[in-house]
Amino acid sequence: MKFSSSLKDGVLVFALKGKIMGGPESQEFHDELKKAVNSGQRKLIMDLGEVEWMNSSGLGLLISALTTARNAGGEMKLARSTDKITSLLVITKLNSVFDSHPNVQAAAASFK
C-alpha cells in the first residue's frame, strides 16, 4: 500500500494505491490522517481508484479513518471504489455507512 495526500479547496484527498491489507504502512496512514484531523481538517476523501486489492484489514483502515473524521466532527467520503471494493462494501453492508462517489470531484461537491 502506498498513499499520498493533496489539499484542494479545503478538502484533503488521500490517494491510496496497491494492496490495502494492514501492516506498518496502515499505521503510517493513520498517523498522517490523525495529524490532518488534529490540525483542523474536517473534509476528507479516500481516492480508491488505484487500489488493486483490499482485505478485511483494509476495510478496517477505512472504518478507522471514518471514525477518526467523525469523532472530530468531520466527514469522510469514498471516491472511485473499484468493483472489488464495492462488492466488499455491499457484503459487509458498509455501503450504508460510507458515502461513495464515482470520482473525486463528485465526492468533493457532496461536502457542500
Partner 1 sequence: MTFDPRPPAHLPDDDRIARLDARFGELAELTDALLRSLREGAADPALADRWLAVWREAARGEAVLNLIREVERERQENQTLTEISMKLSSTSAIEEVLRTILDSLRQVVQFDAAGIFVYDREIGQLEIDMLVGYEKSERQVLYQKFQEGVKVGQGIVGTVIMTGHYIYDPDVRRDPRYIAARESTLSELAVPIMARGEIIGALNLESDKPDAFTERDRRSLTAFANHAGVALERARSDRLRQHTRRMQEEITLARRIQTSFLPESTPDFAPYDLAGANFPSSEVGGDYYDFIPITQNDMGIAIGDVTGHGVGAALLMANFRACLRIESRNNFAVRAILGKVNDYLYETNLPESFVTAVYGVLDRQNHVFSYANAGHNPPFRLRRDGGAELLTVGGLLLGAFPNVAYEETSVQLSPGDVLLFYTDGVTEAHDNEGNEFGAERLRTMVQKLRNHSARDIVKQVSEAVREFQSVEIAQDDLTLSIVKYD
Report if residue 31 touches partner 1, rule: CB under 8 A. Answer: no
Count Cβ atoms within 10 A of the Cβ of residue 61 and give its class: 0-12 exposed, 13-18 middle, 19 or more buried. buried
Nearer to partner 1, 92 or 106 (CB): 92
Q: Count the site residues for partner 1 by CB under 8 A.
A: 18
Report if residue 57 touches partner 1, rule: CB under 8 A. Answer: yes
Report if residue 60 touches partner 1, rule: CB under 8 A. Answer: yes
- Contact segment (CB under 8 A) with partner 1 among 2-10, 35-43, 60-68, 72-80 equals 60-68
| Cα 32 to Cα 52: distance, rounded to the nearest angstrom | 22
Compute the least distance from the CB of residue 12 to partner 1, in Å.
19
Whose cell is 473525486? That residue is 104
Q: Report the number of secondary-structure helices (H) and strands (E) in the chain.
A: 4, 5
Report if residue 76 touches partner 1, rule: CB under 8 A. Answer: no
Dihedral angle sign, alpha carbons of residues 1, 16, 13, 41: negative
Count Cβ atoms within 10 A of the Cβ of residue 112 and give its class: 0-12 exposed, 13-18 middle, 19 or more buried. exposed
- Contact segment (CB under 8 A) with partner 1 among 9-17, 33-41, 49-57, 103-111 equals 49-57
- Can you give the binding site for partner 1, defined by CB under 8 A? 22, 26, 55-57, 59-61, 63-64, 67-68, 91-94, 96-97
